[in-house]
Amino acid sequence: MRKLRRYAAVALAAVAVAACAPSRASTNANGEMTVLGETAALGLGIATPYVIVDKKGDPVEIGVRLTEKALDGLPQGDAPSMYVLEFPEEAAKTPVKNLMLNWYPKGRKPAELFGEPQLAFHFYTIDHNEAMGINPKAEPAKASRLLDPKYVAKDFIAEPGDPVEKTVPSMGLHWLDSTREFGPGKPEFSEVFVYGSFDAKMIFLEPLATRKYLLTKPQLTADVKQPESVQKDGFYPTKYSIRWDDKLQSYVISLANLTKRQGS
């Protein structure tokens, strides 16, 4: 296990990166193989990226496991922290390049809706250096270019407002499910799934959950709403999962039921 190195980054208190170690694999009774990436320190526990492939080597699930203590001892303060994990090479048939895990000790704005401490799991379709180079104020034309409607999932909208202002540096523009509403008289915010874009490209798929919700050891599996088309060939999720696995004694955050799609 390697402790994640931390260093300063734009709009973040810290960044941590784990280099990819040799894969570790196990096979179940159905012939599906789970391949683990490098185990890295997170909080007082560990985080492990993984991919599950079928007998043909096609991916069926990609995600990260967090041991129970990973939710304890996380950095506090006003600024978020970021950790980057690399998936095993067996994930290459998915569009996902890496996982950017963001910890928000004070939640996000507006605080009255999203102020609970939370973890965001950005499954990026671009490499880390490209993501870190996103600077909407320096490249307003790119920040203003939104996704073609055919690449926008059903019911999703770009975060309302000027896209240059709403694009998060070193991250991207968030696309929100317009049917999910939180606040007084509505459900309390606990988890949600969003997409991300920059320069008219879909660049991440993001389940996120509050620490409070994770501590309930949930068993959530929900649909990932689909766009009409995708930009790259690959295996894309039709489900996402935020759940506690008793056997693994870990929280599992995953993109699942991966289905092959052709880019157009």
pLDDT per position as a tens digit, 20-62: 444 487 888 788 999 999 888 999 999 999 999 999 999 999 9
User: Which pair of structure tokens corresponds to residue 201?
Assistant: 């490209």
Mean pLDDT of 217-223: 98
What is the structure's pLDDT at 20? 41
Q: What is the mean pLDDT of the chain?
A: 90
Nearest-angstrom CA–CA distance, 225 and 240? 10
Nearest-angstrom CA–CA distance, 134 and 150? 23
Mean pLDDT of 235-263: 98
Mean pLDDT of 61-68: 98
**Model pTM greater than 0.75?**
yes
Angle (nearest 5°) at CA 135 between 9 and 229: 115
What is the structure's pLDDT at 30? 82
How far from each other are the two terminal CA atoms of the chain, in whole angstroms?
A: 40
Owner of token pair 């250096």: 129
Mean pLDDT of 194-220: 98
Q: How many CB atoms lie within 10 A of CB 163?
A: 19
* 20-24 contacts at long range (C-beta below 8 A, 24 or more positions apart): 20/86, 20/87, 20/88, 23/88, 23/89, 23/90
Mean pLDDT lowest for which of 18-27, 109-118, 130-139, 214-223?
18-27
What band does 247 get if pLDDT is binned at 50, 70 and 90? very high
Alpha carbon 59 to chain centroid distance? 17
Strand 239-245 to 250-256 pairing? antiparallel
Which residue in 229, 237, 240, 235 sits closest to 264, CA to CA?
A: 229
Which residue in 148, 155, 171 sits closest to 230, CA to CA?
A: 148
Q: How many CB atoms lie within 10 A of CB 261?
A: 17
Cis peptide before 187 (omega within 30 of 0): no
What band does 185 get if pLDDT is binned at 50, 70 and 90? confident
What band does 186 get if pLDDT is binned at 50, 70 and 90? confident
User: Which pair of structure tokens corresponds to residue 187?
Assistant: 């459900």
What is the structure's pLDDT at 112? 78
What is the structure's pLDDT at 31? 83
